[in-house]
Amino acid sequence: MWNFETEPEFQRKLDWIEQFVRERIEPLDYLFPKDETYNTRNAALMSIMAPLKAEVRAQGLWACHLPPAMGGGGWGQLKLALMNELLGRSFFAPTIFGTAAPDTGNAEILAHFGTEAQKARYLKPLMDGEIVSCFSMTEPQGGADPNVFTCRADQTTTGWVLRGEKWFASNARWADFLIVMAVSDTTTAIHHGASMFIVPIDAPGLEFVRNTGMAFEHPEHGAHAYLRFNDVELTNDHLLGKAGEAFKIAQTRLGGGRVHHAMRTVGLARRAFDAICERAQSRYTQGSRLADKQLVQDTIAEAWMQLEQFRLLVIQTAWKIDKLNDYKQVRGDIAAVKVLSERVMVDIASKAIHLHGALGVSNEMLFGEWLLWGHALGLADGPSEVHKLTLAKQLLRAQPSADAAFPSQHIPSGAVRAAEQYAAHLRLPGHRRGWVPAVG
């Protein structure tokens, strides 16, 4: 059964979220840089966000991605997708709704693999929004290929010692703890030889080489840490899950998160699209409004079609996850929406920049930040090329190879088979392809 409608009761929740995001959260985009959303030491921002978070909780909308046993709504991916579309309009909205990455993924893996003591120490305050966390896997020499990782965890009589470097560890500077992947067994392949550790931010030997920023950011404002582990000693209760399970653990956090990011991208791209339309209606040049010029109309039509196609694919992916109750079968679809997130955001943010002229490239609009964010979407959590490989492999697995020298859609071979199938009819007169053999 196909149905594109939203239940009225859930639509009422979405209406509340939309109004709340537009009227109460979007103003924060004009006051604070986006990465400040994680800065629990920013007193002004925290005092604005605290009552907003309380309103979200009062509506029963806090941390809805979690299963009911952990206090979430148990809504399923389709409803979460529709919600995330609205949250995507502002970088502050996910934090205010308790659904900001990487905390969401970290909470998921702590819930699945953490001991009771780890859950009490780290998971509870994380889910309550009292602290923020960091997930650290990438190293300076490479992020897309874990085979090049060298950050080591060596076992001692009392626990573990971490040695090495990590790179682009988002929000480490605001985090209470890091979840760090390290090579713990060099005698086996990395997929079985890496372990996951919870590293408290004040662990002796943890060095911040620097906080790297995004392009155009002031060096002091960077939120992506270059970290060095100088013989960081950890007791055994800092190991998350079992030794050698790092990849199994990491996989747990990625499935739903990618769909949420894709749907947030729909929301942010829609905000850019709204700006394009407003500009086209408002700007008058060379005898008419931009909206009256056919090349501008082409831009608007192309942007809308691209956005709606993307939105439908994300929603279908979320729907498939719910229907099959399985991420593995939907891996290819998830990879596709991850790749498209970059493309759609970059294309629509670029159009918004262009149609706003000099103002568009200036620091008086948010478009430049959104454009760069589009490029970041094609890198964070793996570059687009790697996700295309995942999609292509899944598509190819579903397609058998031809069992003869010619392909299965080869006309002469197909005509022989079809002529046998419809032999009785081919005795009657009628035009047909020349390959059809004569029927006696």
Ligand X SMILES: Cc1cc2nc3c(=O)[nH]c(=O)nc-3n(C[C@H](O)[C@H](O)[C@H](O)COP(=O)(O)OP(=O)(O)OC[C@H]3O[C@@H](n4cnc5c(N)ncnc54)[C@H](O)[C@@H]3O)c2cc1C
Q: Name residues contacting ligand X, limited to 146-185 (CB under 6 A).
A: 168-170
* Residue 382 contacts ligand X per CB under 6 A: yes
Supply the minimum distance, in Å, between the C-beta of residue 170 and ligand X: 3
Segment lying near ligand X (by CB under 6 A), choices 46-54, 118-126, 274-282, 372-380: 372-380
* DSSP type of residue 139: B
Mapped onto helix, strand or coil, the DSSP state of residue 262 is: helix
Contact indicator for 127, 115 with CB cutoff of 8 Å: no
296 Cα distance to chain centroid: 31
Of 82 and 268, which has the nearer Cβ to ligand X? 268
Straight-line distance from the first to the last Cα atom of the chain, in angstroms, rounded to the nearest whole number: 46
* Residue 143 contacts ligand X per CB under 6 A: yes
Of 28 and 137, which has the nearer Cβ to ligand X? 137
* Residue 142 contacts ligand X per CB under 6 A: yes
Query: How far is it, in rounded angstroms, from Cα 344 to Cα 328?
Result: 25
Q: Which residues of 197-233 are buried (b: 16+ CB within 10 A; e: fewer)?
A: bbbbbebeebeeeebbbbeebeeeebbbbbbbbeebe
Supply the minimum distance, in Å, between the C-beta of residue 373 and ligand X: 8
Pairing label, strands 133-136, 177-183: parallel
* Residue 137 contacts ligand X per CB under 6 A: yes
Q: In this structure, what token pair is assigned to residue 246?
A: 């790092």
What is the 3-state secondary structure of 186-238?
CCCCHHHHEEEEEEECCCCCEEEEEEECCCCCCHHHCCEEEEEEEEEEEEHHH
Of 169 and 249, which has the nearer Cβ to ligand X? 169
Supply the minimum distance, in Å, between the C-beta of residue 315 and ligand X: 25
* Residue 201 contacts ligand X per CB under 6 A: no
* Residue 255 contacts ligand X per CB under 6 A: no
Segment lying near ligand X (by CB under 6 A), choices 192-200, 351-359, 373-381, 396-404: 373-381
* Residue 144 contacts ligand X per CB under 6 A: yes
Of 95 and 299, which has the nearer Cβ to ligand X? 95
* Residue 105 contacts ligand X per CB under 6 A: no
Contact indicator for 229, 183 with CB cutoff of 8 Å: no
* Residue 102 contacts ligand X per CB under 6 A: yes
Residue with tokens 């004009």: 30
Contact indicator for 291, 280 with CB cutoff of 8 Å: yes
* Residue 380 contacts ligand X per CB under 6 A: yes
Query: How far is it, in rounded angstroms, from Cα 46 to Cα 36?
Result: 10
Segment lying near ligand X (by CB under 6 A), choices 103-111, 131-139, 262-270, 408-416: 131-139
The interface mask with ligand X, positions 207-246, x = CB under 6 A, is -----------------x----------------------
Of 224 and 351, which has the nearer Cβ to ligand X? 224
Cβ-based burial of 350 (10 A; exposed 0-12, middle 13-18, buried ≥19)? middle
Of 280 and 366, which has the nearer Cβ to ligand X? 366
Supply the minimum distance, in Å, between the C-beta of residue 179 and ligand X: 9
Q: Which residues bind ligand X (CB under 6 A)?
A: 102, 135-138, 142-144, 168-170, 224, 376, 379-383, 385-386
